[in-house]
Amino acid sequence: MSNIAAFFDIDGTLYREGLITEVFKKLIKYEIIESERWYKEVRPEYQKWDRRLGVYDDYLLKMADIYIDAIKGLHKSHVEFIAKRVVNQKGDRVYKYTRDMIKWHKSQGHIVITISGSPEELVREMSKKHGFDDYRGTKYLLKDDMYTGECLPMWDSINKHKSIFSLKEKYDLDLSKSYAYGDTSGDFSMFELVGHPTCINATRELLGKVLNDDDVRKKVNIIVERKDVIYRLKPDELHI
């Protein structure tokens, strides 16, 4: 087996939005979450982001907070059912560039891994669909197969950093030859650790960190995919 890996974020990197958003919609549809919570708590953060007045991470974290509360006391089979439905219906809504890079890495014999802040149940289904060799996602804790309302997050840099070192040991990886793809500040630790990082439709927060770190700035690739066009940019061409 190759000692080179490619680490992919999912939300905004592979999938064209946030998968947890789709889960959220299903939870409302099946009346697990009251629709009023969307309008009162989540929608204002979404509108700020949609109007480019807010921060994308704030919107996702607000949804994660409500998600934790919403699934507390649910049996794991309910969430697994919703995760499968979401991926079956939406799992092909991905960026062409990222999909092509997954195929390229697999053709090179690289180990292809997703590390995502989305719920582990969703990440597992996306991993199966797109042929990842391994995966890590946010683990929502269970007791007697019922969700407790606690979680071990995977959306932040600290936990993605820990996961990469765990995977390095598991597969005896050479991180200096490995790759990482991400779009938000939570992916920055992956960029620090690998030899070939790539920003895909990155947030301002991630680009700010990249441009202010000399080591990452020298090795990073910057990709923007809009409609059916893929743009490759250099750090010096950015104005943020």
All domains in the chain, ordered by first residue: 5-237 (3.40.50.1000)
pLDDT of residue 110: 97
Q: Residue 212 has what DSSP assignment?
A: T
Give pLDDT tens digits for 106-135: 999 999 999 998 899 999 999 999 999 999
Sheet holding 229-233, edge to edge: 146-152, 134-143, 111-119, 5-8, 179-182, 196-200, 221-226, 229-233
Give pLDDT tens digits for 219-233: 999 999 998 899 999
Question: What is the overall mean pLDDT for the chain?
Answer: 88
Burial of 145 (0-12, 13-18, 19+ CB in 10 A): exposed
Summary count for the chain: helices (H), strands (E): 11, 8
- Phi-psi map region of 73: left, alpha, beta (phi>0 left; psi -120 to 50 alpha): left
pTM over 0.85: yes
H or E segment to which residue 147 belongs? strand 146-152
φ/ψ of 110, rounded to 5, equals: -75, 155
**Identity of residue 151:** C
pLDDT of residue 50: 66
φ/ψ of 113, rounded to 5, equals: -130, 140
